[in-house]
């Protein structure tokens, strides 16, 4: 009963501190939203192809439009309209300025009589304007060359297939050009040993920022919880408590229980915030989430208790807590996924408890795994909790 009374005293002491509410709840919520927005991929599907200006000066023919249609089906470039900015400018001048200013990757100009020359077998070329210092020029040249080759191939196929019926040339040309839009043979490139699609993304948005900021600010909460024993020493409350019938183990257990309850409450609020407002689905596996929360909270509470036995002043408690936060958070992958780092950094990171906490949470919200996937991280976290609790008890014996 005295353990519970001591824990309630510590909890009331922390709850009355308005700064604790700011640093333990409101600040991590704000950082979670900010980091999630920063790490989120661009909204909408978008179009990753290179923008290429297209000017068709062949007003009397149709093959210029067919060339543009073939470019639109390219996986490398996408043709766009070039609008004049002033009455004195022509389209080619405006397009060249856009290339120079790197607003578009290149400019394709289809000359007059383009269709008539191709149908008559006369040599004629479309003009491609690129910046010689940009690597995109080679990609555009290749894409335009491919489209032009397909156009010439379709004309030649239509001419050969209608040699005896020239009146059917236009219909045959339409069929040949349509075939290039959906070629019967394609190539699909697959990466061997590729990770899951979502794991392969560097930008995980709120699914990275939510567990990351939860881990960071839970460790940061040590600045409040680790000062409990320091305050009791300064007020000589701890010395008086040691003269009572309450054992040292009971005193440690009471403080540990208070820290654990505060940490668990902090985790719950941050998880509910992410679940409700950021669409991070922790509750798809509630038991797994709870297990990681408890094991992680137990380790943080034990670490906070150990720091409080080391620190003699408030400044020392804050210093050790901040040091633990920055080092353990960085190694845990709270700021960036450990999956994108090299094997050495990943291995070093998993020597720390925070990385296992991140694994546990992200197994749920990123990888879509279940309860069994968090068993190993939870066991390791409980192991670290026992280790730091033992160190705290050992250190407290020499008070």
Residue 331's H or E segment, with its range, is: helix 314-332
280 with 206: CB under 8 angstroms? yes
Q: What tokens does 319 get?
A: 């210093």
CA atoms within 13 A on the CB side of 353: 28
User: Burial letters for 87-121: b for 16+ Cβ neighbours within 10 Å, e otherwise?
Assistant: eeeebbebbbebbeeeebbbbbbbeeebbebbbee
pLDDT score recorded for residue 219: 83
pLDDT score recorded for residue 47: 66
257: left (phi over 0), alpha (psi -120 to 50) or beta: alpha
Separation between Cα atoms, residue 321 and residue 305, nearest integer Å: 11
Q: What tokens does 149 get?
A: 């080759």
Q: What is the pLDDT of residues 39-69, one digit of tens each?
A: 765 554 556 778 888 998 888 888 888 888 8
109 with 126: CB under 8 angstroms? yes
Q: What tokens does 250 get?
A: 């009971």
Separation between Cα atoms, residue 2 and residue 14, nearest integer Å: 19
Fold adopted by 50-181: D-Maltodextrin-Binding Protein; domain 2 (3.40.190)
pLDDT score recorded for residue 283: 93
Name every residue whose Cβ is closer than 8 Å to that of residue 199 and which is 6 or more positions away in sequence: 339, 366, 367
User: Burial letters for 273-297: b for 16+ Cβ neighbours within 10 Å, e otherwise?
Assistant: bbbeebebebeebeebbbbbbbbbb
Name every residue whose Cβ is closer than 8 Å to that of residue 101 and which is 6 or more positions away in sequence: none
Helices assigned H by DSSP within 101-135: 114-120
Residue with tokens 């670490």, as numbered in its chain:
303
Pairing label, strands 106-110, 50-56: parallel
Q: What is the pLDDT of residues 97-116, one digit of tens each?
A: 888 887 888 899 989 888 88
pLDDT score recorded for residue 19: 66
Annotated domain spans of the chain: 2-40+208-396, 50-181
Pairing label, strands 77-80, 106-110: unpaired
Q: What is the pLDDT of residues 255-267, one digit of tens each?
A: 778 888 888 988 9
Q: What tokens does 96 get?
A: 């060249």
- Answer whether residue 240 shows pLDDT above 50: yes
pLDDT score recorded for residue 202: 42
pTM of the model: 0.59
Measuring CA to CA, which residue among 79, 158, 176 is closest to residue 126?
A: 79
Confidence of residue 197 (pLDDT cuts 50, 70, 90): very low
């Amino acid at each position: 009963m005295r353990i519970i009374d001591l824990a309630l005293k510590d909890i009331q002491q922390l709850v009355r501190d308005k700064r604790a509410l700011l640093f333990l709840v409101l600040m991590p919520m704000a950082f979670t939203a900010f980091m999630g927005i920063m790490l989120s991929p661009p909204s909408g599907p978008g179009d990753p192809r290179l923008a290429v200006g297209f000017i068709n000066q062949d007003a009397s023919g149709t093959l210029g439009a067919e060339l543009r249609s073939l470019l639109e089906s390219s996986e490398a470039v996408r043709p766009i309209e070039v609008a004049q900015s002033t009455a004195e400018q022509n389209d080619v001048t405006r397009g060249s300025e856009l290339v120079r200013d790197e607003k578009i990757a290149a400019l394709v100009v289809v000359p007059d009589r383009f269709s008539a020359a191709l149908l008559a077998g006369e040599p004629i070329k479309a003009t491609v304007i690129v910046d010689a210092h940009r690597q995109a020029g080679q990609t555009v040249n290749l894409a335009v060359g491919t489209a032009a080759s397909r156009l010439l191939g379709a004309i030649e196929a239509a001419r050969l297939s209608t040699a005896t019926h020239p009146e059917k040339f236009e219909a045959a040309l339409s069929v040949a050009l349509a075939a290039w839009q959906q070629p019967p043979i394609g190539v699909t490139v697959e990466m061997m040993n590729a990770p899951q699609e979502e794991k392969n993304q560097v930008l995980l948005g709120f699914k990275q920022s939510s567990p990351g900021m939860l881990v960071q600010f839970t460790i940061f909460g040590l600045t409040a919880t680790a000062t409990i024993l320091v305050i009791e020493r300064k007020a000589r409350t701890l010395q008086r408590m040691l003269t009572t019938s309450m054992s040292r183990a009971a005193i440690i257990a009471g403080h540990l229980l208070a820290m654990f309850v505060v940490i668990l409450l902090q985790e719950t609020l941050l998880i509910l915030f992410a679940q409700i407002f950021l669409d991070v689905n922790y509750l798809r596996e509630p038991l797994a989430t709870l297990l990681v929360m408890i094991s992680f909270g137990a380790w943080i509470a034990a670490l906070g208790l150990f720091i409080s036995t080391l620190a003699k002043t408030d400044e020392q408690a804050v210093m050790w807590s901040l040091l633990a936060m920055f080092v353990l958070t960085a190694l845990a992958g709270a700021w960036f996924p450990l999956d994108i780092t090299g094997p050495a950094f990943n291995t070093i990171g998993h020597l720390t408890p925070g990385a296992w906490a991140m694994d546990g949470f992200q197994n749920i919200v990123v990888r879509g795994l279940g309860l069994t996937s968090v068993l190993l991280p939870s066991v390791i976290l409980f192991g670290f909790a026992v280790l730091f609790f033992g160190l705290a008890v050992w250190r407290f014996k020499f008070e």
